[in-house]
Amino acid sequence: MGLLNEKFREVLSSTIPTLVIVFLIHFFVIDLSTEALIAFVIGLLLVIIGLTIFLTGVDLAINPIGELMGKGVARSNKLWMLIAAGLVMGFFISVAEPSLTVLGAQIGIVSGGVVSATAIVSVVSIGLAILLVIGLVRIVYNWKIVPLLSILYGFIFLLSLFTATEFVSIAFDASGATTGAITVPFMLALSVGVASMKKNSKSSEADSFGMVALASSGAILGVMVYNILFPTGDLTGTLEISIGSGDSFIVSFLNNLTTQLLEVAITVFPILAMFFFYQNILMKKSFKNNRRIWIGMIYVYVGLVLFLTGVNAGFMDIGSLIGYSIAAEGRYVILTLVGIVLGVVTIIAEPAVSVLTHQIEDVTSGSIKRGPVLLSLCIGVGAAVGLSIIRIVIPSLELWHIILPGYIIAIGLSYIVPTIFVGMAFDAGGVATGPLTATFILAFVQGATEAVPHAEIMLEGFGMIALVAMMPIVTLQLLGFVYELQKKKAEAAGQTD
């Protein structure tokens, strides 16, 4: 129960600010209906309960599975087994990622089914699995992260020339959504397992940074290659802005619950089967040896069902309604400010961000304080959501106008800042795109897009997660640049004395 209580406090601290903001908007900005608020509160309760149970299951099951299988693969000392296991595990873990599930469903809805959720989730998971393998091979052979990221993003920008504009937005959004609550812990645990079994080598803590960056680039490549091979032509879509009341809400809730019971079972079962095969067939260990892990997988299943039901049964709807209502009144300055506040509050309350900032301080023995790191992340994410709103309002401003120079700056900085900041920064982009970003803020931005006359939801409605994933990379590396300047200044002063 201790772990469950700990996760409950984490989830509560990350979701209560959203509740406060919604009611502040209701009292001071727009008048939301009672039905909408009730649906939101019920959805929020399900999100809180679901995320608490799910994250407990991640700690009990997903992390141990990743580390056990990572050690097992490394112990075999066979490269082909590392590649095969990485591909299988990477694919199925990504398929089960809740943030990616939400994004895939949203793409399916607004495109009217032209781009199916299954197709997006599948190609993203394939891309992530391939780059996960490259990340594991990098650990084994001690490849440097900066040249590898430079090659990957160079290839990404080359492919973007042949990718439809709306798919560029979807691709970069997918990269942020796929590095979430289930994939990040699993990938890090897997890499720790592989690194711990390396012969004649000591893996420093700093080397653990960078796996998320590599895997997320695979998601971008997956979507772009899919669009190039299977072009859809010009995509248009709409988003229905409505929240049911009375019986219609209850019916919607029950329909969502029924759907999630089946769909989550389909996504979680392969992970169970994969671990059962490894432990019971290959390792010859009985069920009793891993009872805690099996119980943890039940937590993962139940939590994911409740979380996704809450997201679809009222939580995302009010985000859409708020964005739509403010934009429909032409209050674009207020809309932008609300977006910035949502971004800052979300990143401050995100438990994974707290873990990352403490980890950075620990790894550097306190030389890099968590305060400046958190501030740089707040500036980055707040600016990202604000830019997403500005992009909707200004017709001539496209995603690549921000993404291209942003990543050029990020890659350029990676050659002049300390290496540890590079991995940290790219991983921070994945950490910043947590469950609230992929649900509430995504819905807020898409609702606003639907209300702005010239905006197209398949273009401006996506790209927010991409910017949230990119901006912390730039701001955290800028912090690294300042840190390096201060270090050199201190060294010069010491030599003078």
Per-residue pLDDT of the chain (497 residues; tens, 9 = 90+): 678 888 898 888 878 888 999 999 999 999 988 888 988 998 899 989 998 998 898 888 887 887 777 777 767 777 788 888 889 888 988 888 888 888 898 898 888 888 888 999 999 999 999 999 998 888 878 888 888 888 998 999 899 999 988 899 899 898 888 877 778 777 777 776 676 655 544 444 445 567 777 888 999 999 999 999 988 776 666 677 665 444 466 777 788 888 888 888 888 888 888 887 777 666 666 656 678 888 898 999 999 899 888 888 778 889 999 999 999 999 999 999 999 998 888 787 766 676 667 767 766 667 777 788 888 888 999 999 999 999 999 988 888 899 989 989 988 988 888 877 887 787 777 777 777 787 888 889 999 999 998 888 888 888 898 899 889 889 988 888 888 888 788 777 766 65
Residue 304 contacts residue 98 (beta carbons within 8 Å)? yes
Between CA 410 and CA 474 the distance in angstroms is: 5
Q: How many CB atoms lie within 10 A of CB 269?
A: 14
Q: At a CB cut-off of 8 Å and minimum separation 6, what does 412 contact?
A: none
**Six-digit token pair at 400?**
């690549």
**Six-digit token pair at 381?**
């994410």
Between CA 264 and CA 307 the distance in angstroms is: 11
Going by C-alpha positions, the residue among 10, 46, 112, 53 that lies closest to residue 303 is 53
Going by C-alpha positions, the residue among 240, 324, 305 that lies closest to residue 101 is 305
Q: What is each CA distance from 196 to 70, 190, 205, 244, 374, in whole angstroms? A: 9, 10, 11, 52, 30
Between CA 350 and CA 280 the distance in angstroms is: 37
Between CA 486 and CA 478 the distance in angstroms is: 12
Buried b / exposed e over 444-474, threshold 16 CB at 10 Å, is bbbbbbbbbeebbbbbbbbbbbbbbbbbbbb
**Six-digit token pair at 275?**
């671990």
Sign of CA dihedral 19, 20, 25, 28: positive
Q: At a CB cut-off of 8 Å and minimum separation 6, what does 275 contact?
A: 65, 69, 290, 293
